[in-house]
């Protein structure tokens, strides 16, 4: 496999998992901008664990999930008090806080970052496996009692509360799962880049994730498979004469989708339609 293709696949896997990390809280009606914060935690944990402590890949991933879930749980407790737009905007602050904290901790390389993260031989295969595992996990989650509770909260929090759903627990749970997924994405990212910087986990990454979520479709878990390759590889799809407009095109795509296709490219109806085809046969 060529270098270009393997990097493309791994980056797509990273962004698919990361977009799922933003998708899960959205199921519970929360726009959570802390996904990038969790990604930084996962990435730095994996970098440290593999470089300094020489942990093997899968142990690093599990460690990243645990650490990500714990450090995601703490702000999640706070955000269970807030809702809607307040959660969305105040969780942005987490990005600035984590960047600033990393820069002040010498063991995390401070401003220089951590370089020389060990190479993982079968990273393409591993990241595809992780995407599969997360896909199954989210599919099960969506079609479980819990998933329906999430959906009830998304549709109408007050109604959900009267039906006996504990809205606070649901939102804490959603944000914690999201943090764990974000950490997985961060870990793969670190292994792929082999070098990691605090600047990476900034505002522009957040915008990319949100664009991928909203363009792909945020009511189903499948939209990411279209939006991530489309947007990550945007320089490949547009002619090179338009390359300097790439970021403007990126923004325009997002605006057009938000205005004209409220559910994104892949809608719930489409998924249901595809499902019906299979059931009939």
Partner 1 sequence: MESFIAQVINGLATGSIYALIVLGMNLLVLVRDIVHQGYAHIIMITMAAGWITLNTSGGNIAMAIAVMVVVGVLVTMATEPLFRPLCKRGAQLETIVLAMSVGIILTEFMSQFVNSGGNFAFPASMRGGGITLTFGLIRLSLANIIALISAVVVALVLLWFMHKTQQGRAIRAMAQNLRVAKMLGIPFGMTGMIGFGIAGFLAAIIAILIIMTIGTCGPSLGDTFAVKSVILMLFAGMGNLKGGLLSALFMGLIEAMALAYLPGSWTQAIFYGVIMLVIIWKPNGLFGTAK
Partner 2 sequence: MKSRFKRILAATFSMIMVLGSLSGCGSSGGAETTGSGESSTAQGELTISVLSAITGPIAFVGKPAAWAAEYAAGIINEAGGINGKTIKIDMHDTKFDTAEAVSAMSQVVDDALVVVGPMDAPGGEAAGQVAFDASVTNIAAFSFPDIRAQYSPFAIAYMTDSEEGDLLAAKHWVELNPDIKSIVVFANPTDPSQMATAEMLESGLPEVGVTVKKIIEVETGVLDAGPAAVQAINADVDGYYIGIRADEAAKVVSELRTRGVDEGNRICATFAAFSPNYSDVVSEDALNGTYIWNKLDPNYDGEEWNKLVEAYKADNEGASPTVNPVPDYYNALMAIKQCFEELNITGDPAKLETEKAAIAEWFYNSPVIEGIQGEFQWVEGKKVAPVYFFQFEGKQPVAVK
166 binds partner 1, rule: CB under 8 A: no
262 binds partner 1, rule: CB under 8 A: yes
CB 202 within 8 A of CB 97: no
- Smallest gap from Cβ 134 to partner 2, in A, equals 19
Number of residues forming the site for partner 2 (CB under 8 A):
48
Tokens at 54, concatenated: 């020489």
Largest interatomic CA distance in the chain: 60
Q: Binding partner 1 by CB under 8 A: which of 50, 99, 171, 178?
A: 99
- Strands (DSSP E) contained in the chain are 114-115, 195-196
Q: Binding partner 2 by CB under 8 A: which of 32, 79, 197, 219?
A: 197
Q: Binding partner 1 by CB under 8 A: which of 53, 58, 139, 203?
A: 203
Rg from Cα positions in the chain: 19
CB-nearer residue toward partner 2: 148 or 236? 236
Buried b (16+ CB within 10 A) or exposed e, 198-236: bebbeeebbbbbbbbbbbbbbbbbebbbbbbbbbbebee
270 binds partner 2, rule: CB under 8 A: yes
Strands 195-196 and 114-115: antiparallel
Adjacent-strand bridge partners of 195: 115
d(CA 35, CA 27): 14
- Smallest gap from Cβ 21 to partner 1, in A, equals 16
Name the one range near partner 2 by CB under 8 A: 2-10, 70-78, 138-146, 173-181: 2-10
List of residues 6+ apart from 14 with CB closer than 8 A: 127, 185, 188, 189, 192
242 binds partner 1, rule: CB under 8 A: no
Q: How many CB atoms lie within 10 A of CB 122?
A: 10
- Smallest gap from Cβ 100 to partner 1, in A, equals 4
Q: By rule CB under 8 A, what string of x and - marks binding of each residue 68-107 to partner 2?
A: -----------------------------------x----
Residues 9-48 that bind partner 2 (CB under 8 A): 9, 11
1 binds partner 1, rule: CB under 8 A: no
Name the one range near partner 1 by CB under 8 A: 1-9, 99-107, 125-133, 157-165: 99-107
- Which of partner 2, partner 1, none lies near 139, with the C-beta cut-off 5 to 8 A by kind? none
C-alpha closest to that of 217 among 232, 228, 203, 207: 228
d(CA 136, CA 130): 10
Q: Contact positions toward partner 2, by CB under 8 A? A: 1-9, 11, 103, 110-113, 115-116, 119, 189, 192-195, 197-200, 204, 225-226, 229-230, 233, 235-237, 240, 243-244, 246-247, 261, 265-267, 269-270, 273
């Amino acid at each position: 496999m060529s270098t270009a293709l393997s990097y493309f696949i791994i980056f797509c896997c990273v962004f698919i998992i990361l977009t799922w990390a933003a998708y899960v809280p959205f199921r519970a009606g929360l726009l959570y901008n802390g996904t990038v914060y969790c990604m930084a935690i996962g990435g730095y944990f994996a970098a440290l664990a593999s470089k300094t402590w020489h942990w093997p890949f899968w142990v690093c991933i599990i460690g990243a999930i645990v650490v990500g879930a714990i450090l995601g749980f703490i702000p999640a407790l706070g955000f269970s008090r807030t809702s809607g737009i307040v959660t969305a905007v105040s969780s942005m602050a987490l990005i600035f806080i984590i960047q600033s904290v990393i820069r002040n901790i010498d063991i995390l390389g401070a401003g220089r970052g951590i370089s020389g993260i060990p190479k993982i031989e079968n990273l393409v295969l591993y990241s595809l496996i992780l995407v599969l595992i997360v896909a199954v996990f989210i599919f099960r989650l969506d079609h479980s009692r819990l998933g329906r509770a999430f959906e009830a909260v998304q549709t109408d929090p007050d109604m959900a509360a009267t039906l006996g759903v504990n809205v606070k627990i649901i939102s804490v749970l959603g944000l914690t799962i999201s943090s764990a997924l974000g950490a997985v994405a961060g870990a793969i990212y670190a292994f792929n880049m082999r070098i990691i910087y605090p600047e990476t986990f900034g505002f522009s990454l957040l915008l990319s994730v949100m664009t991928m979520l909203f363009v792909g479709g945020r009511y189903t878990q499948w939209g990411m498979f279209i939006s991530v390759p489309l947007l990550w590889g945007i320089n490949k799809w547009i002619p090179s004469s338009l390359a300097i407009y790439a970021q403007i095109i990126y923004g325009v795509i997002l605006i057009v989708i938000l205005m004209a296709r409220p559910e994104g490219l892949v809608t719930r109806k489409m998924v249901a339609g595809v499902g019906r085809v299979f059931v009939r046969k």
